[in-house]
């Protein structure tokens, strides 16, 4: 009797799939690390470490705004330009309160609420008046320019003499840096302290947003952006969730505006100009590099994308090519080029996958 060979059990399956995903992720992270090392060398190596610290600090400061942009563009499917005005509104409210003696920490939630109100108006205009989200946000942003001028009383308000959320910890942290790393490194103390403190703010906000989006209200908000027809079939008013989501997005942006004004030492009515491009760049870079599969992974990827984006901008402004170098006034052009390059890489990768 002929013996029938028995096939060995295949190792292909969930285990192999996890292994392949892990290997792909490891490859992406290795490439990202190689790019960061190349940027580090291009910026002058250890001699430019201060530029690196500054870029990371600014990237973390703007990362809650990037999370806000992610919520409107990816979760709600609601293109929103209000963030450029609400970011400046957060900074304007911060400047007004700090010059009137309020604690820098008190200004943060107030800036969140003020900017969330701007997002609320955009959401109501778009949903109740049935105006396209882009047009509604342009109208509100235009009005916010005048509002911000009213709040500040001038186009620019210096805050260096008013302190910041870093002030209570600066002296002690400088002493710690001096005793641990020497006098040479004290010049980096302010940026390192900003990275630590803003990093704590960002982690807390990210966890709160992740938890909220897993709640019943957050799930309904995500469904309103992903499948509005299904939500209406279930008897839910999607407009309510869209308005709430846009308000949350702009509140996070205003919080970032408050942090940025305190860190940079001034409030300006134009400080949100171009923020939407930076936010979109952070979203696209984060999705391209980290390829998140869940919402918590996506918010973390957006934070990482904003930090990478700010490092890339700093590197581009530092590099000297044949005697030509970019000036600080070229930052918008550098931003546009970086965004186009990221979109091109994403497009090529998607074509290769198909």
Say if residue 276 is exposed, middle or buried (CB neighbours under 10 Å; 0-12, 13-18, 19+). Answer: buried
**What pLDDT, on a 0 to 100 scale, did the predictor assign at position 193?**
92
Are the beta carbons of 335 and 281 closer than 8 angstroms? yes
Domain annotation covers residue 279: no
Please tell me the total count of domains within the chain: 1
Please report the pLDDT score of residue 248 as a whole number.
95
User: Residue 39 falls within a domain, yes or no?
Assistant: no
pLDDT at residue 261 in the model: 94
**Which regions of the chain does DSSP assign to beta strands (E)?**
156-158, 266-268, 320-321, 324-325
Residue 319 counted as domain residue: no
- pLDDT given for residue 305 in this prediction: 93
Q: In angstroms, rounded to a whole number, what is the distance separating the alpha carbons of residues 49 and 31?
A: 21
Residues whose CB is less than 8 angstroms from the CB of residue 181 and which lie 6 or more positions away in sequence, other chains included: none
The Cα–Cα gap between 256 and 108 comes to: 9
Q: Which residues of the chain have pLDDT under 50?
A: 1, 6-12, 47
Indicate whether 311 belongs to any domain.
no
What is the pLDDT, as a whole number, of residue 75?
92
> 234-255 pLDDT, tens per residue?
888 889 999 999 999 999 999 9
The number of residues making up the chain comes to 354
Whole-angstrom Cα distance, residue 198 to residue 201?
5
pLDDT at residue 317 in the model: 74
Determine the structural domain holding residue 218 and report its residue range.
Answer: 47-273
Residue 335 domain-assigned?
A: no
* Short-list 79, 261, 69, CA closest to 158: 261
Q: For residue 226, tell me if it sits in a domain.
A: yes
Residue 350 falls inside a structural domain: no
Pairing of strands 266-268, 324-325: unpaired
In a domain, 191, yes or no: yes
């Amino acid at each position: 009797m002929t013996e029938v060979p028995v096939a060995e059990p295949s190792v292909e399956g969930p285990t192999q799939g996890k292994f392949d995903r892990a290997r792909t992720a490891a490859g992406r992270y290795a490439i990202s690390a190689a790019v960061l090392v190349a940027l580090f060398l291009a910026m002058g190596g250890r001699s430019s470490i201060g530029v690196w610290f500054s870029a990371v600090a600014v990237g973390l400061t703007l990362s809650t705004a990037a999370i806000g942009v992610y919520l409107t563009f990816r979760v709600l499917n609601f293109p929103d330009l209000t963030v450029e005005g609400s970011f400046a509104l957060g900074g304007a409210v911060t400047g007004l309160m700090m010059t009137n003696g309020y604690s820098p920490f008190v200004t943060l939630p107030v800036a969140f609420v003020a900017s969330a109100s701007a997002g609320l108006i955009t959401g109501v205009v778009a949903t109740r008046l049935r105006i396209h989200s882009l047009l509604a946000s342009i109208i509100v942003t235009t009005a916010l320019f005048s509002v911000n001028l009213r709040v500040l009383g001038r186009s620019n308000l210096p805050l260096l003499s008013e302190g910041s959320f870093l002030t209570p910890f600066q002296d002690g942290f400088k002493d710690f840096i001096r005793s641990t790393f020497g006098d040479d490194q004290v010049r980096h103390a302010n940026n390192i302290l900003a990275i630590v403190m803003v990093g704590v703010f960002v982690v807390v906000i990210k966890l709160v947003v992740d938890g909220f989006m897993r709640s019943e209200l957050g799930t309904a908000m995500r469904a309103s952006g992903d499948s509005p027809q299904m939500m209406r079939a279930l008897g839910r008013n999607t407009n309510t969730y869209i308005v709430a989501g846009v308000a949350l997005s702009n509140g996070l942006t205003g919080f970032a505006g408050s942090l940025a004004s305190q860190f940079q030492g001034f409030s300006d009515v134009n400080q949100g100009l171009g923020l939407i491009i930076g936010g979109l760049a952070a979203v696209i870079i984060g999705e391209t590099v980290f390829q998140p599969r869940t919402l918590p992974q996506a918010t973390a990827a957006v934070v990482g994308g904003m930090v990478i984006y700010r490092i890339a901008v700093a590197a581009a402004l530092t590099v000297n090519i044949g005697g030509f170098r970019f000036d600080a006034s070229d930052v918008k052009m550098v931003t546009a080029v970086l965004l186009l390059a990221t979109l091109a890489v994403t497009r090529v990768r998607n074509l290769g996958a198909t």
